[in-house]
Every structure is written in C-alpha cells, then in structure tokens.
Amino acid sequence: MENCDEAGLSTRFGGRVMKIVVLAASAQSKSVNKNLAAHIATQLAGRYGSEVVLPDFKQFTMLAYDGDFEAEVGVPEGAAQLAEALQGADALVLCAPEYNGGISGALKNAIDWVSRLQPHPFARLNILLTGASPGGLGAVRGLWHTRVPLEALGAHVYPDMFGLGRATGAFGADGSLQDPGIQRQLDGILEGFVAHVKRHRNG
Amino acid sequence: MENCDEAGLSTRFGGRVMKIVVLAASAQSKSVNKNLAAHIATQLAGRYGSEVVLPDFKQFTMLAYDGDFEAEVGVPEGAAQLAEALQGADALVLCAPEYNGGISGALKNAIDWVSRLQPHPFARLNILLTGASPGGLGAVRGLWHTRVPLEALGAHVYPDMFGLGRATGAFGADGSLQDPGIQRQLDGILEGFVAHVKRHRNG
Amino acid sequence: MENCDEAGLSTRFGGRVMKIVVLAASAQSKSVNKNLAAHIATQLAGRYGSEVVLPDFKQFTMLAYDGDFEAEVGVPEGAAQLAEALQGADALVLCAPEYNGGISGALKNAIDWVSRLQPHPFARLNILLTGASPGGLGAVRGLWHTRVPLEALGAHVYPDMFGLGRATGAFGADGSLQDPGIQRQLDGILEGFVAHVKRHRNG
Amino acid sequence: MENCDEAGLSTRFGGRVMKIVVLAASAQSKSVNKNLAAHIATQLAGRYGSEVVLPDFKQFTMLAYDGDFEAEVGVPEGAAQLAEALQGADALVLCAPEYNGGISGALKNAIDWVSRLQPHPFARLNILLTGASPGGLGAVRGLWHTRVPLEALGAHVYPDMFGLGRATGAFGADGSLQDPGIQRQLDGILEGFVAHVKRHRNG
C-alpha cells in the first residue's frame, strides 16, 4: 500500500480510504452499462484500494417527477435512498446509457427528484461520466448532454469522459475489456480522476 | 376565413385545417407551463383557426424506462396514448419546464418510451419549443437541452423558441399575457411557425 | 428527368432547378472535409440534377471579429462574399471539421461576421450538417455544437447529420466512398434533405 | 492577511499568492465584458489578495485557423503569447461575449490555435466562465456553449457561472456593480471559485 501510495495510485488520504459510488444508470437486468460499471468497480477497488459501492439502479424506483406528489407526500423513497448513497461519497462514477442522443429520462428523473432535497448531494460532487453503447459512437453524445444538469447542480464533472462503443462484445468472460488499447485509455482516465479527487478532497 | 387566408394567417390548407397538439410537459395541477399552453392554444384556435388538442400530461402516466418491462409487457399505456395523440398532428407545441438547466426527466422519459414504437411520431414532426419559468431566464437553457433528443429523433424543431421569464405574474385573469411587448414576441413566433408548418405540409 | 422527378429524386421545382451551396469549412489545401464536399457536390449534381456551387472557404478570408473594425470599416470583403454566395441558395450543405469538440473558430467567426449583415442569409436557410474526421467519432460532437449558432440565427438545420469517421482512407481514387454501407447512409440523408428542401421551398 | 486566511478569503497558499488571469474575450475598445473583467480583477486583487493579470485580448491578434499556415509558419505570435500568459496561471476567469447564441468565433479561434501547442495550457486549468450582455439573458446560452471546447481540452470549468444581463447600465462610475443583489451573487461565485482553486492547487 505504501508503495502504491508513492506511485500515486492509492486512494488513501487523510487517514481514510476514498469512497466511490459506481452507478450504472440502467434498470435492465442485462446491460452493457452494468458490465462497464462492474469492470470499473473492480479496477477502482483492486488497483487503487478504493471503497467502492455498486448500487443497483433498479432499487431506486421512483415515479416521474410530479410536483403535486411532492407537495402531498414528499420525495419518493427511491430518491431518498439514492441521495443517501451519494451523501457520504468522495466521488461518483456514472455509467450512463444514451437514449435518443441524450441523457436517459430515467436518470434525469432521478437527478430531478434528488435535487429537491436540501442540501442535495450533487453540489461539489466529483463525477466521472462513462457510458457504453452497442453502436460505434460509445454514448458520447449522451455524455455531453448528461453534463449539463449535473453542472447546473454544481457538480464538478471531470472533463475527460469514457465512451465505450460496440460494447456488446467488448468484455471477456472475466468481465475485463478485451482490447488492450481501450483498457489503457480507461486506465488513464481512472488514474487521472482518482488523483484529481484525492487532491480536491485533500486540499 | 378567405381574407385571413390571404393574409397568411389561416391554418387551412389542402382542403383541411391544421391540427396542432399543444402540450404542457408538467404533471402538476397548477403550473406556469399549463398557463402558457392554454394561452397558446387559445391563440392558435382563435387567430389561426387551427384545430387544437390540449392534452393533460398527467394522463400519460408511465414508469421510468425499463428494458425488462418493455421486453415482458411492452410500451406502457400512457406512452401509447401520447404517441396516438401525436400521430395525426401537423405540429406539436411543447411548453416545457426547465429542471436543473435541462429537459425535465419526466418529459425525456416520455420521449424515450414513445421512441420505442415503430414508427414513432417524432420523425419529421414540426415542433415549436416554448417554456415558462418563475425566474428571469425563462427556461431558455432547458429549451436548448430539449432540442437535442427531439432532433436526434428526426423532428424538425423550429429554430425560434419562446421562453417566458417571471411567468408567475405574467398572465392576466383572462389568461392573456400582460406585457404587450412579450405578447408581440409570441405572436411573431407563432405566426412564423404556423406559416412554416403550412408550407412544409403543403409542399 | 421526368422519371426521376416522379421518383422524387429531381431537384427541379417551380420551373427551376434547386441551387445548393456545398461548403467545406476548411482553409487547408488538403482536407477530408474538402473531399467530402466534392463527393456530396458530385452526388447532388449527378443524381438530383441540382445546381451546385462549391466555393473555396479560403476565398472568404476575414479577420477575427472586431467591433471597432466594423464601426470604422464595416464587414470585411470575405464575409460579404460569403453572404452573397448564400443569398440566392435554396440550401447549404456544410462539411465542417470538429476542432476541440466543437465548431471551428474560423467557421464560427465567418458566421459571426455574416450575421452582422441585415438581412443575413442564415434566417430560414435550409442547412444540412456533415463533417469528416480522421478519428472514429466522425466530427459528430462538433456537428451538435455547430447546430447552436445556426439555429440561434433562425436557420432550419436538418435533423439528420452525416459524420464520416476514419475519413483519411474513406475515399477511393475517383472521390467516391469506399464503404457501400456508409454510401447508402449518405444517400438516405441527401435524399431526405433534398425532398425536404423541395417541399419547403415549394409550399 | 492571516485573519483573512483563516476566513478562507486569502488566495495565499503553499508560500505564494494565487495567480489569476482575467480575460475579456473582446477586441472592442469599449465592451461590457471589459467592464466586467476590470471589476472582477479589482475584486480578486483587493478582497482575496490574488496576483491578477488583465491582458488585452486585442494584443493576441491571430488569423483564422489555417492548417497550411501552421505547416509552413507555425502557430501565430498572438497565440503563443496567449499560451504564455496562461502557462503560469493558477486559474483563468473568462469574460466572454455571446455571439449568435454561442461562443464568439474570435475566442474559439484563439482556443483552437493555442490548443495546437504541446503541451497546451488548458489541460487541468481551473476556469471560471462569466459573461455580460446588453440583453436580459446575460450571455448565459453562450457560456454553456463555451464550456464544450474547454472541457474537451481537459479544463476544469467551474460549474457555477456568472451571466450579467442588461450590462450597459450595470456598472457605476467607479466600475462597481450598482445592484447589491447581483454583486452578492458575484461575490458568492468568486469566493467559491477561489476556495476551489486553492484546494485544488494545494492538494
């Protein structure tokens, strides 16, 4: 651990270990974004020694935002649970599908509900955006569209993003990325992000 | 009617009347976007003789997009009804709230579900984006964010948009806009949009 | 020609032929966007019988926008010439490189200068956005960024866009696209765009 | 200074003072963005004790990006000077006008040229985006459009932005903002940004 700290690879700082939520924003049981989230979680825990939380997006069930419901009942249970998962985190890695060239409505709806809590967990949260898609563009248009509401909420969205195209066949049986060039690209982004979060939380 | 046709103000063309859906993308019972939608509907029916449909967004209830649900059950009833409302329309006027600097999750979710139908009604649909907000910026950031998925789906989103700031006190008791300068701005956009749709559907 | 008209492929309408400006927004002597522009111009002239103008972006030289210069001298000659080239056109096809994830500064600068003329040629102009890039994403982020100022100026930017990735080796010796699947994709977009412009200018 | 340090208001860290470039991206001699830049520079120097550099954008004259010129001559002098001004800075505050709903072509062109240098100064640079406009929307659409290329270049663009609407009459004879509510809003953003940069550069 000490060596790895010197190499800048550890996520230990201030006497504790960095806590990262890795969230695949997909309610489907089988999803390339879940594959990507699992792979990133493994990398962050193994290589950087982070404490990783890998929640299931489906557990955060909530109705479409409805101001009448909010006035009468409040924020739905799923939104409160998502907020709680994020509250203690040093960082969030989102694995977000692209729907129709943009953020998925389900994810935006979750963000909208969580943002109704005061304080909400997005302000000043360090977020890395990643996404996988079956097509060639790797959800990259969707990731740019996803930045907007998160930045509007005051999150520090890391400038580099990771879009994985042709994701259906991208993972091996052990869950790792088959293409070493793409793996190196992901390594570089994760290393930069972790160093950034460390500096930011430490400063 | 003939005179008004000559003035380019009628929406009669090809032996029929233009059908426009005006949709306030808000599930709340009281909403400035509903006020705006009602006002625009009145203008379109009265001034241009359009056939206007003013559905209640709340009737299109649907769960957050879930691929498992789609595989087992299909598209939810609310999404099918929204698609049906749009199918026969010459144009759609959206009155869309801005949530967190972007499209509302509820609206994006509705678009995502409807886009699963083949064919879906957004391809080649003429859409005018409008939005009202209590603050000074009039939902204008949100409208730009809303363009992206609609254009990705092949809709012709009209370039001009109408954002109504400080919307809470903007309407009089009869539902009209109090500020004549803002009313003229809206008139200009509606007139341009209706002429565009007419040319487009006629050509 | 008559047959081709019946097939919806002709650009003859209202007793004249559609005039389309195809502009590669690149000042470089060798450029994949110039290759793309030349190929699209050939398609539009050959397949649809359009009158095609293929100007050299370099001829529209202009300094970076400077309000002092404008107040003293006016709009630079290059901007006036670009405006003139667009003024009589039924449509514009832009072949736009992506620089740093967005519109090229040179193109945006040209748009800014031309927009100072009253009236400027972008209002109500039908525009198809295409772009080529050496990398895999085919300038697609840049095209979305390019939509914004054009739509803000009132242009009808066609919803479908064509991004050509790995463009360096994409063209054969005769200037045509090597990959038949990509050629079919381009054919579909050009056919849809031409039909749209025809309907729009005819209506 | 020590007291102010304890209050978190000083920009002294690591035995030195924070260096901030405040750049009005306007070549005009009279410009509301220059007024805003001068005001922000005064605030940063006076209240936080930062070392502030306030360059004149006009000194960074450069032709529209031209790959042939680059191949033959290299990066123009103005771009090299802008890069040099940024190289030693801890942060950049941009006061950027909005042209046609987006980033000004002159600014984008400057970014494009500077990005050709290796390494370029935008990677990991902390940037605060502000903008002034004569109209009511305060350049806010333009600021969102400006984020894209800077983030694509790896800059940490601060999530909060400051858009000053109706800027022509916003400043008093002494250069300060007349409206105390708007001044407080700017204070909050500057304070948050300075604290963020300090943490980030310190960590």
B22 three-state secondary structure: strand
Select the residue of D61, D109, D151 nearest C109 (Cβ to Cβ): D109
- Nearest residue to C46 via CA among C4, C92, C90: C4
pLDDT of residue C11: 75
Select the residue of C136, C144, C165 nearest A141 (Cβ to Cβ): C144
Is D160 close to A148, i.e. CB distance below 8 A? no
In Å, how far is B40's CA from the nearest CA of chain D?
23
D146-200 pLDDT, tens digit each: 999 999 999 999 999 999 999 999 999 999 999 999 999 999 999 999 999 998 8
Encoded tokens for B82: 């929204």
- What span, in angstroms and rounded, lies between the C-alpha atoms of B161 and C57? 31
D7-45 pLDDT, tens digit each: 445 677 778 899 999 999 999 999 999 999 999 999 999
- Nearest residue to D177 via CA among D143, D130, D140: D130
In Å, how far is C114's CA from the nearest CA of chain D?
11
Nearest residue of A to residue C137 by CA position? A137
pLDDT of residue B9: 58
Encoded tokens for A90: 């040093």
**Contact between D21 and D92 (Cβ < 8 Å):** yes
- What span, in angstroms and rounded, lies between the C-alpha atoms of B159 and B176? 24
Identity of the residue numbered A62: M
- Nearest residue to B161 via CA among D137, D165, C121: D137
Cα dihedral D171, D174, D176, D178 sign: negative
- What span, in angstroms and rounded, lies between the C-alpha atoms of A50 and D194? 29
Interface of C with A in 147-176 (CB under 8 A): 165
- What span, in angstroms and rounded, lies between the C-alpha atoms of A165 and A158? 20
The helix or strand, by DSSP H or E, that contains position D167, with its residue range, turns out to be: none
C101 three-state secondary structure: coil
Q: What does pLDDT average to over chain A? A: 92
pLDDT of residue C9: 58
Neighbouring residues of C11: CB distance < 8 A, sequence distance ≥ 6: C17, C18, C20, C44, C48, C49, C50, C194, C197, C198
- What span, in angstroms and rounded, lies between the C-alpha atoms of A75 and A80? 7
Q: Which of B145, B153, B156 to mutate to test the interface with C (most CBs of C within 10 A)?
A: B156
Neighbouring residues of A183: CB distance < 8 A, sequence distance ≥ 6: A176, A177
Neighbouring residues of A16: CB distance < 8 A, sequence distance ≥ 6: none
In Å, how far is A44's CA from the nearest CA of chain B?
28
Neighbouring residues of C201: CB distance < 8 A, sequence distance ≥ 6: B203, C13, C14, C18, C90, C126
D74 three-state secondary structure: coil
Confidence category of residue A4, pLDDT binned at 50, 70, 90: very low
**Contact between D129 and D157 (Cβ < 8 Å):** yes
**Contact between A145 and A107 (Cβ < 8 Å):** no
A13-40 pLDDT, tens digit each: 778 899 999 999 999 999 999 999 999 9
- Nearest residue to D100 via CA among B163, C105, C149, C154: C149
CA angle C187, C189, A139 (to 5 degrees): 115
In Å, how far is B15's CA from the nearest CA of chain C?
14
Question: What ipTM was assigned to the predicted interfaces of this complex?
Answer: 0.93
Q: Each residue's pLDDT tens digit in chain C (203 positions)?
A: 333 343 445 677 778 899 999 999 999 999 999 999 999 999 999 999 999 999 999 999 899 999 999 999 999 999 999 999 999 899 999 999 999 999 999 999 999 999 999 999 999 999 999 999 998 887 889 999 999 999 999 999 999 999 999 999 999 999 999 999 999 999 999 999 999 999 887 65
Neighbouring residues of B73: CB distance < 8 A, sequence distance ≥ 6: none
- What span, in angstroms and rounded, lies between the C-alpha atoms of C94 and C92? 6
C191 three-state secondary structure: helix
Residue with tokens 């300094």: C63
Encoded tokens for B75: 């598209």
| Per-residue b or e along B47-79, where b marks 16 or more CB atoms closer than 10 Å to that residue's CB | bbbbbbbbbebbebbbbbbbeebeeeeebbebb
Question: Mean pLDDT over residues D106-120, rounded?
Answer: 97
Is B108 close to A112, i.e. CB distance below 8 A? no
Q: Which residues of chain B have pLDDT under 50?
A: 1-8
Its pTM stands at 0.94
DSSP string, A66-77: -HHHHHHT-S-H
Strand partners, D17: D12
Is D141 close to B140, i.e. CB distance below 8 A? yes
Is D102 close to C152, i.e. CB distance below 8 A? yes
A111-160 pLDDT, tens digit each: 999 999 999 999 999 999 999 999 888 788 999 999 999 999 999 999 99
Residue with tokens 């241009």: B48
Work out the percent of chain A whose per-residue pLDDT is above 70: 94
pLDDT of residue C4: 39
Contacts of C106 in chain D (CB under 8 A): 64-66, 105, 109, 112
Is D136 at the interface with chain B, CB within 8 A?
yes
Is D202 close to A200, i.e. CB distance below 8 A? no
Is C67 close to D151, i.e. CB distance below 8 A? no
Is A144 at the interface with chain C, CB within 8 A?
yes
Q: How many CA atoms lie within 13 A of B160 on its CB side?
A: 17
Residue with tokens 């940490």: D156
- What span, in angstroms and rounded, lies between the C-alpha atoms of A85 and A110? 13
Identity of the residue numbered C55: P
pLDDT of residue A15: 81
The helix or strand, by DSSP H or E, that contains position C47, with its residue range, turns out to be: helix C32-48
DSSP string, D92-120: EEEE--EETTEE-HHHHHHHHHHTTSSS-
Encoded tokens for C172: 């054969």
Select the residue of B64, B66, B149 nearest A101 (Cβ to Cβ): B149
| Neighbouring subunits of A (3+ Cβ pairs under 8 A) | B, C, D
Contacts of B203 in chain C (CB under 8 A): 198-203
Which DSSP state fits C58? Answer: G
Is C153 close to D68, i.e. CB distance below 8 A? no
pLDDT of residue D14: 75
pLDDT of residue A138: 78
| Neighbouring subunits of D (3+ Cβ pairs under 8 A) | A, B, C
Select the residue of D64, D100, D153 nearest C105 (Cβ to Cβ): D64
Which DSSP state fits A122? Answer: T
pLDDT of residue D9: 58
Count of all residues that appear for chain C in the document: 203
Pairing of strands C12-13, C16-17: antiparallel
Higher pLDDT, C13 or A55: A55
pLDDT of residue D2: 34
pLDDT of residue A12: 77
Is C33 at the interface with chain D, CB within 8 A?
no
Contacts of B165 in chain D (CB under 8 A): 136
Encoded tokens for A110: 């979750």
pLDDT of residue D197: 95
